[in-house]
Structure 1
Amino acid sequence: MRAEITEVLDGGVVRFASPLGTANATWRGPEPPRIGWCHVELEFPAEVRIWAAVPAGMPELRGTGDQVHVTAQVAAYDSGDRIATLRLGDSVVQAEIHAPTSEVQPGAWLHLTVENLEFYPLNS
């Protein structure tokens, strides 16, 4: 995902803007984060506990502090491992979600609330 780091906060947290919205993420790169554009891999570091199926929507990331709201489309769901592969704009991210298979079908849209996002830089 392409994101612009707009602010470097305490504890390795960055504030970013992207075509999908603005939120905070924990920086997981070998070098300290810098203000400006970068390419990152986005990860959800923990199981998604708050989610809901929503009507067709637009991909979105927004939030500050300890909550980030994400709207994404399901690309695939492995009910055995409880892993959803989600399309988020031009990116793909996996999330552990305990959900009935009937609600998490490819093509469905989900709204997720997560405690944190993690950024792994691809161009550092």
Structure 2
Amino acid sequence: MEIKVQKKLASGQVRFESDFGTCEGIWNDDEPESNRKYTVEIEIPEDLTAARLAESDEKHCILETTEDALVHIVGQLEDYEEDGFAVLRLEDSIICFNTQYDEQIEALHGKFIEFEVERIHLSKVGI
């Protein structure tokens, strides 16, 4: 996913903008430069449960920080494996995450889903 770092925050976090909104995440690489674009991989460091995932009324992708400092994510559940591995599509980008396998999540396959997490991690990809 392509992002533009707006500024560095405390504790290794950055505020960034993408095609899906403005968000904050933990930067896992060398210090990023403000106002610079990066191609990153987004990691969700926690396993999600069916209770935290819901079909979304939104039919477009969202990646934004909420007023409660959580990360709100909306995308299309593209793939879901029996080991609980999930692939969420945000247009040309994907975010992979792990779950405790649940048939309720399997039933969301192909649909827009939404959830909130405490944090995401960002790692540069490419050159």
Measured against the shorter chain, the TM-score band is 0.7 to 0.9
Paired amino acid for 1:43: E
For residue 9 of structure 1, what is the aligned residue in structure 2?
9
For residue 46 of structure 2, what is the aligned residue in structure 1?
46
Task: Give the aligned CA root-mean-square deviation in angstroms.
Answer: 1.8
Alignment length (residue pairs): 121
TM-score, normalising length: structure 1 = 0.87
- 1:1-124 pair list within 5 angstroms: 1-29=1-29, 31-35=30-34, 36-49=36-49, 50-55=52-57, 57-63=59-65, 66-78=69-81, 80-98=82-100, 99=102, 100-105=104-109, 107-123=110-126
Structure 1 ranges of 4+ moved more than 4 A: none
Q: Which runs of 5+ in 2 are unaligned?
A: none
| 1:82 Cα deviation after fit | 1.2
Question: Identity, % of aligned pairs?
Answer: 26
| 1:25 Cα deviation after fit | 0.5
SS in 2 for 1:48: coil
Which of the two has greater strand per residue?
1
SS in 2 for 1:47: coil
Q: Which runs of 5+ in 1 are unaligned?
A: none
